[in-house]
Amino acid sequence: MYEGCTANRYKNVTDIGGDKLRNPILADVFGRMRLMERRGSGFKKILDAYEAEERYKENPSLTQVELSEIMDKSRRTVQMLMKELLDEGTIERIGSKKKGSWLVK
């Protein structure tokens, strides 16, 4: 485990520090392969994507503005997150832009 700790110490993923590299060798390899945007951003992005998916499961008609307020993120951050989820096929828009809803696959 990270820093020689057991799994019991980290009951919540958010308990793990945000900016520390867990594996500097892998970070270097992924950085050189250009498979990493920036160091230390992975857990935050995963948690944001998971939260967005859960919110859309609860309320498929949420707008990006409403989601940004719930998640305490900028609208632009939510727009980029939604584009990533759409490109990955994780979510799909059903109906029109104005009156449609989101389907979480």
pLDDT category, 41, cuts 50, 70, 90?
Answer: low
Q: How does the average pLDDT of the chain come out, rounded?
A: 77
Residue 55: closest CA among 32, 37, 30, 82: 82
Residue 10: closest CA among 22, 1, 23, 21: 1
User: pLDDT per residue over 62-102, tens digit each?
Assistant: 888 999 999 898 999 999 888 888 898 888 998 888 888 88
Q: What is the pTM of this model?
A: 0.59
Q: Which domains are assigned to the chain?
A: 1-40 (no CATH), 41-105 (1.10.10.10)
